[in-house]
Structure 1
Amino acid sequence: MDKKRFKSHEDLAIFKLAFDTAMKIFQLSKKFPTEEKYALTDQMRRSSRSVCANLAEAWRKRRYKAAFIAKLNDCEAEAAETQVWIKFAVKCEYLDIEQGRELYGTYNQVLSGLVNMINNPNQWIIHE
């Protein structure tokens, strides 16, 4: 992997996938019932967006291996949390099963990419 081609976290395929999926969740969650506004809707939006925000923070902490990995671990936790909210949305019948499967599967891809970065931090950290 040629990390020189990555100028920012926004160049990472994993960031693009997480961002696009968070936006899809935002659009789909607009149809959730109003009584879920501060529960499921808010939690699902927050955790999906947090994956992206933590990845941006991790990118800026690449000078410090432990800090980089810690932020990626936060991303991983937020992605897994989002999967739980997706399951609740399907069980509550706010998302149909196919929408839920697609979103859940996308977060499996995000998690796979994050775990790869966590397990191989030396190719990402800044060596001075």
Structure 2
Amino acid sequence: MQDFRNIEFWRKAHVLVLAIYRETQSLPKEEVFGLTIQLRRSATAIATRIAEGCGRENNLEFAADLRKAQASCNELEYLIELAKDLTYWKPESSAKLMAETIEVRKMIHGYLRKF
């Protein structure tokens, strides 16, 4: 067991969640129960899975949660792409969010290679 706040990729995932929440405020009102909630849930799931995994009893369970966090990164990447293609966000905003998501995913992947 370890404190998730001490893990660099959790801190980056948390910053990503905050950025997604800020960016989704600009989405059209008709997306409140659609794309807005999906983006927020998938971003939150990344940080949540990492935190959850830190409370596990063994490394196998921790690794399973990290793999789920990676899957949520993939989901978030698609949703960012969708928001961009629907022209809800400026390309620069989408590119920044995408880069942050990919960075978190790669950091998780690198950590998982230790197991």
Listed as ranges, the gaps of 5+ residues in structure 2 are: none
2:106 aligns with one of 104, 112, 118: 112
Q: CA deviation at 1:66?
A: 1.7
Amino acid at match of 2:42: S
Q: CA deviation at 1:11?
A: 1.5
2:50 aligns with one of 48, 55, 64: 55
RMSD: 1.0
> What TM-score does the superposition give when structure 1 sets the normalisation length?
0.85
Q: Percent same amino acid at aligned positions?
A: 21
| Alignment-derived partner of residue 3 in structure 2 | 8
1:87 aligns with one of 74, 81, 84: 81
1:28 paired to 2:17 = no
3-state SS in 2 of match to 1:31: coil
| Alignment-derived partner of residue 42 in structure 1 | 37
Count of residue pairs the alignment pairs up: 114
2:65 aligns with one of 62, 71, 78: 71
Cα distance between partner residues in 2 of 1:13 and 1:69: 16
Amino acid at match of 1:29: T
